[in-house]
Amino acid sequence: MSLRTLGSSADLDGQVVLLRVDANVPVDQGVITDDGRIRAFLPTLEWLVSKGAAVVVASHLGRPSGPEDTHLSLAPVARRLAELWGKAVPLINGVTGPEVWTAVDALLPGQVCMVENVRFDPRETSQDASERLELAMEWADHVDATVVDGFGVVHRKQASVYELPRLTTSYAGLLVEKEVEVLTRLTTEPERPYTVVLGGSKVSDKLGVIEALLPSVDIIVVGGGMVFTLLKAQGHPVGSSLLEENMLDTVRGFMAKAHDHGVTVVLPTDIVMAQSFSPDAGHEVLPIAALESGVHGAHAIGLDIGPESARHFAQVVRDSATVFWNGPMGVFEFDAFAHGTQVLAQALTEVTGLSVVGGGDSAAAVRALGFAESDFGHISTGGGASLEFLEGSVLPGLEILGWQR
């Protein structure tokens, strides 16, 4: 691994560092409901400050159309960061411009400030490389180095992740370093049995990674909303459950390929079928063979794997030496349908080898269900980025930091 890491060569004493993080946390009416992504980059911020750097923290939040989207201001993030860190983190009102430069140029070693949501400036995500470069050049005039610690965005060609690190000295932050290290272990000679558990909402989001994993995994376990497309492809009625009709043939092809590779595909044997998609919907557990009765009766929508499936999935996970899990087993946001996800998460904590949780909602689920980060080998902060990494794609934001597969 040739990733330029902080430990290797960075001498940042007295330098102004732009720290690009992924603080894209869920915010509900100004309140952060899960601060995992802020905690995740805090060690890098502390490291930089301890080395005498002045740090400008930059992040995106959601997909604003511009600064007028004030509900996507980083104000709650700056407040939470200051609380967690125990020192002041002033938020400068702007992404670039005189107010920002005055504040940045005045920073002393060890001081930290935050700029506004980088996506308030449309050049950050522009398809036009020259526009992104223009924004990056404005930053490069005021900072000496860039540290990228937003693993969730390294798969994107965006000004703060791709153009800026080319214009200044640049390093991977501690979180990006850890992500790359752990995900590399999943792609190079993982200990066996190697099991991948997939769930969540869409097969189409995940098929690329599933295909890419076929040659290296031993077992693929599937639950969540995506399982209904697989069940339907096998001829089971799935009622009003989540279904991607146009993926049925692709899924059949995938099952055949899995068979050719000697990969065991484990599907649920029972499903929690509900009356409607709502937290208090009436529901019953039906064996797969009896889904027909639910579909034609009152319970036509599958919202979780059943208890028998959960027990079986958990056993498979516990018996594995390496486990990667992406995608909740059911609609964990509703207590009544969180059981499958709960049991699976518990099993992951009992894996003696390497257990990795990837995906925004999956990471949020394990925290919401009360598990500690330290219960798992690693919780990846990047949903799309971790999947693309496992697929074998070249991630622009890592390539720019010297990384080669």
Known catalytic residues?
37, 202, 360, 384
Instruction: Choose the one of Mg ion, ligand ADP, none that binds residue 303, judging by a C-beta under 5 to 8 angstroms depending on kind.
Output: ligand ADP
Least spacing, CB of residue 214 vs ligand ADP, in Å: 19
Least spacing, CB of residue 198 vs Mg ion, in Å: 12
Instruction: Choose the one of ligand ADP, Mg ion, none that binds residue 333, judging by a C-beta under 5 to 8 angstroms depending on kind.
Output: ligand ADP
Least spacing, CB of residue 268 vs ligand ADP, in Å: 10
Instruction: Choose the one of ligand ADP, Mg ion, none that binds residue 286, judging by a C-beta under 5 to 8 angstroms depending on kind.
Output: none
**Which single residue brings its beta carbon nearest to Mg ion?**
361
Look up residue 248 and give its amino acid. L
CA distance 326 to 336: 21
Are 384 and 155 a contacting pair, CB within 8 Å? yes
Residues that bind ligand ADP (CB under 6 A): 199-201, 205, 224-225, 242, 302-303, 326-328, 330-331, 333, 359-362, 383
Question: Between 358 and 377, how does the x/- string for binding to Mg ion read (CB under 5 A)?
Answer: --xx----------------
Which is closer to ligand ADP, CB of 294 or CB of 383?
A: 383
Going by C-alpha positions, the residue among 125, 161, 183 that lies closest to residue 387 is 183
CA distance 145 to 53: 10
Q: Please write down the long-range contacts of 93-99, taking CB distance under 8 Å and 24 or more positions apart.
A: 94/120, 95/58, 95/120, 95/121, 95/124, 96/121, 96/135, 96/138, 96/139
Q: Give me the residues paired with residue 355 across strands.
A: 323
Where are the extended beta strands (E) located within 82-210?
91-92, 112-115, 145-148, 169-172, 194-198
Least spacing, CB of residue 74 vs ligand ADP, in Å: 22
Which is closer to ligand ADP, CB of 239 or CB of 327?
A: 327
Instruction: Choose the one of Mg ion, ligand ADP, none that binds residue 326, judging by a C-beta under 5 to 8 angstroms depending on kind.
Output: ligand ADP
Provide the 3-class DSSP secondary structure of residue 207. helix
HEC string of 285-328? EEEHHHHHHHHHCCCCEEEEECHHHHHHHHHHHHCCCEEEEECC
Least spacing, CB of residue 359 vs Mg ion, in Å: 6
Which is closer to ligand ADP, CB of 89 or CB of 343?
A: 343
Which is closer to Mg ion, CB of 64 or CB of 359?
A: 359
Establish how many alpha carbons lie within 13 A of residue 294's alpha carbon, considering only the half-sphere containing its beta carbon. Answer: 28
Least spacing, CB of residue 364 vs Mg ion, in Å: 8
Instruction: Choose the one of ligand ADP, Mg ion, none that binds residue 328, judging by a C-beta under 5 to 8 angstroms depending on kind.
Output: ligand ADP
Which is closer to ligand ADP, CB of 94 or CB of 384?
A: 384
Provide the 3-class DSSP secondary structure of residue 14. coil
Considering only the stretches 53-61, 127-135, 262-270, 354-362, report the one whose residues sit in contact with Mg ion under the rule CB under 5 A.
Answer: 354-362
Instruction: Please work out the total of residues on this chain that contact Mg ion, with binding judged by CB under 5 A.
Output: 2
Going by C-alpha positions, the residue among 313, 320, 383, 378 that lies closest to residue 342 is 313
Which is closer to Mg ion, CB of 165 or CB of 360?
A: 360
Helix 307-318 with 339-349: angle, nearest 10 deg? 20
* H runs (alpha helix) in 203-306: 203-213, 227-233, 248-260, 291-296
Instruction: Choose the one of ligand ADP, Mg ion, none that binds residue 331, judging by a C-beta under 5 to 8 angstroms depending on kind.
Output: ligand ADP
Q: What is the binding site for Mg ion (CB under 5 A)?
A: 360-361
